Amino acid sequence: MVEFKRKKGENFESFLRRFNKTLIKSRKLNEVRRRKYVSSKKNKTQQKEYALISLKMREKKEYLRKTGKLKEETRGRW
């Protein structure tokens, strides 16, 4: 952790400029921005719950497709 203190007689603008410059040089800001949207991995219980929900939804969708209540989807991109 880097500490910033104003030097004696230093005005706020120069202090802010020095702070920003050292922050950019330390690359901490880039690291924080990069990690901002990264989500943590799911643990095994969450993975199992997600898999079970997916299976149930897939079975339900397949049933509706077979009974004709759900329109058949094309597998292609277009």
What is the model's pTM? Answer: 0.44
38 pLDDT band, cuts 50/70/90, is: confident
Which tokens sit at 7?
Answer: 């030097």
For residues 43 and 48, what is the distance between their CA atoms, to the nearest angstrom?
9
Residues in the chain: 78
Q: Which has the higher per-residue pLDDT, 38 or 63? A: 63
Residue spans of the domains in the chain: they are 9-38, 40-70
Cα angle for residues 16, 20, 22 (degrees, 5° grid): 115
Q: Is the dihedral of CA 14, 15, 16, 20 positive or negative?
A: positive
Task: Please report which helix (H) or strand (E) contains residue 46, including its range.
Answer: helix 44-67
* Phi, psi dihedral angles at 14 (to 5 degrees): -70, -35
Residue 61 reports pLDDT greater than 80 = yes
